[in-house]
Amino acid sequence: MKQLKNILKELVGEMEKTVPYAAALAMEVAGERISAQTRQQSADPVDPQRGIVFTVFTGRHFMENATHDPGESALRQTAQELVHWAEKEGIDHKGPSIDPGEKRGQVYTVSCYTDPEEIPLREKVAACQAYVDKLHGLDSRIVNALFHYSFIRSQELFVNRHKCLLQDLKRTQSVAMIVMREGGRSARLHTGHSLQGGYEHFPIHDDEITRLLADCGKILTAERLTPGTYDCIFSPEFAGIFAHEAFGHGTETDMFLKKRARGEEYMNRQVASPLVDMFDSPALKDQAATFLFDHEGELRSKTQIIEKGILCSGLTDLNSATRLHLQRTANGRRESFEHKAYARMTNTYFGPGKSKLKDMIRDIRFGYLLDHPSNGMEDPKGWGIQLEGYYAEEIRNGRLTGKVYTPVIVTGYVPDLLQSITMVGDDVKISGLGMCGKGHKEWVKVTDGGPYLRLKARLA
């Protein structure tokens, strides 16, 4: 990756002789994915997704040419073709100007306490298999168990006329999944984590395994709840998916530009309970979506999206920030060099409050604690939201009864849900297993989280 620095700098300079702005991004992914399940194993190097994308701004719009070939002649040809194409489209030197940022050369490297390469492959496969065997040993209702470990190293080099930035990101993910069956009924549940670093993050704590088995067992015999509006407690994981869907997608400013997000009209207005703070930060320590710079060369910073219930900032990519005259945030991200950059989330979470879980439950006469989210979807234009999960535990007279319902779906109007928050827990937890799509494609790694939240929600 470092070897590409000089040639990319030279080509960006060459391209800017013709176009008002040029940049290059080189990406390469390496690592391994190992999994064991009840009757099958796998061990594969990750798809390297190695390639380079050249970007130019013609004064009117962006144009990109991407290639898998890192050879010098292929790079020169790709850059030259892009410039010729831009000339054909027409160049306007009086159009909006792209700020290349301050002059900066910086290298950011995530270190591993235990380098996965130091652990013999056989040992890693055996460790995955040991989890599978352990899960089967703990509960005879399990018909299929899976343990998946992956280590992803992503090297990214961004070059424009002022910046030459290199980041070497490493993350480790471990997931345990089980399918239980009894009496003709089946249930599936998973647990795990994804964190920056190395093999030190391989193990899943025994408490998590115990909780996985217990909760899956409860889901196996659970019925569906009676639809209605209830007092609810969202677990930190459920709060995370709520943050992501509610005002994560709703504040991606490319959606402002397309007039697809109502949030644009509600900037600096109350959209949530005054107890609510919400953030997006690629600078969050050790989290899976943490980085130094985004895929358009913007250095990381923490963005406060909601402060005391007031919507105060969006998440920008280069195009929407330029067109809308917004401050850039480091949210211009792409799935790979083959894909376009959009405004995307990173680590998105509700900030902490002051309440303890037991106090949040204490005066609920009848409600549910929601946990184990599975997916969600938001409509930034209409502010409708859908959150799905596997687990709703009944609360009666201030106590969790142990009676569980599954699956559970939350639907509603985003501001109604956010404004109904009456208590916010004091401990934020981040969940790193998520991936996020834009619409139904463009998958990037994100995390989300928050503390326990108490609110009113429509459940089905």
Partner 1 sequence: MNIEQIAGHLSALKDLSAWEIMEIESRRHEAYLIFEEIESLRNVTIRRYKVTLYVRYTREGKRVQGESTIVLSEGDDIPARLDTALEMARVVANEPFTLPEPPLSCPSIELVDERVKGDPGTILYKIREDLATAREKDIRLSSSEIFVTHQNFRLRNSLGLNVSREETELFADFVLLAGQGGKEAESQGMKHARFYEDLKVGAMMHDYAIYARDALRAQLPPTGQFDVVFSEEALDTFFNYFAVQAGGEAAYQGWSTFKEGNPVTPSRVSGETLTLTSNPLIPGGMKSRPVDDNGLPCKVVTVIKNNIFQQRTTNKRYADYLKLEPTGDFANVRISPGEKSFRELLSSGPIVHLLRFSTFEPNSVTGAFSGEIRTGYLLKDGISTPIKGGSVSGTMHKALHEIYFSRETVQRAAYVGPKGIRVNNLHVAGD
Q: Give residues 423-452 in contact with partner 1 (rule: CB under 8 A).
A: 439-440
Q: Give residues 39-68 in contact with partner 1 (rule: CB under 8 A).
A: 39-45, 47-48, 50-51, 60-68
Burial profile 317-349: b = 16 or more Cβ within 10 angstroms, e = fewer: bbbbbbeeebebbbbbbbbbbebbbbbbbbbbb
Q: Which residues make Cβ contacts (< 8 Å) with residue 292, sequence separation at least 6? A: 106, 108, 165, 167, 299, 300
Q: Give residues 138-157 in contact with partner 1 (rule: CB under 8 A).
A: 143-144
Q: Which of 35-43, 157-165, 306-314, 428-436 is the region at the interface with partner 1 (rule: CB under 8 A)?
A: 35-43
Residue 43, amino acid: A
Q: Tell me, by CB under 8 A, how many residues bind partner 1.
A: 74
Residue 316, amino acid: T
Q: Which is nearer to partner 1, 72 or 427 (CB)?
A: 72
Tokens of 162: 């002022």
CB 37 within 8 A of CB 149: no
Q: Give residues 201-230 in contact with partner 1 (rule: CB under 8 A).
A: 224, 227-228
Residue labelled with tokens 């869907």: 245
187 binds partner 1 (CB under 8 A): yes
Q: Give residues 405-424 in contact with partner 1 (rule: CB under 8 A).
A: 406-407, 409, 411-413
CB 411 within 8 A of CB 385: yes
183 binds partner 1 (CB under 8 A): no
Q: Which of 12-20, 206-214, 258-266, 324-332 is the region at the interface with partner 1 (rule: CB under 8 A)?
A: 258-266
- Check whether the bond before 48 is cis (ω within 30° of 0): no
121 binds partner 1 (CB under 8 A): yes
121-138 and 206-220 helices, crossing angle to 10°: 40
Tokens of 222: 């659970």
Q: Which residues make Cβ contacts (< 8 Å) with residue 71, sequence separation at least 6? A: none
269 binds partner 1 (CB under 8 A): no
76 binds partner 1 (CB under 8 A): no
Tokens of 413: 């109007």
Q: Which helix (H) or strand (E) holds 21?
A: strand 21-37
CB of 45 to partner 1, least distance (A): 5
Q: Which of 96-104, 107-115, 287-295, 401-409 is the region at the interface with partner 1 (rule: CB under 8 A)?
A: 401-409
CA 174 and chain centroid, separation: 16
Euclidean distance between CA atoms 96 and 56, whole angstroms? 13
Q: Which is nearer to partner 1, 47 or 426 (CB)?
A: 47
Half-sphere exposure of 181 (CA within 13 A, CB side): 4
Per-residue x/- track, 374-393, partner 1 (CB under 8 A): -x-xxx-xx-xxx-x-----
Q: Which of 101-109, 268-276, 362-370, 372-380 is the region at the interface with partner 1 (rule: CB under 8 A)?
A: 372-380
100 binds partner 1 (CB under 8 A): no
Q: Which of 154-162, 168-176, 177-185, 234-242 is the region at the interface with partner 1 (rule: CB under 8 A)?
A: 177-185
Select from 84, 162, 258, 396 the one that contacts partner 1 (CB under 8 A): 258
Q: Which helix (H) or strand (E) holds 448?
A: strand 447-450
Q: Give residues 312-371 in contact with partner 1 (rule: CB under 8 A).
A: 319, 338, 340
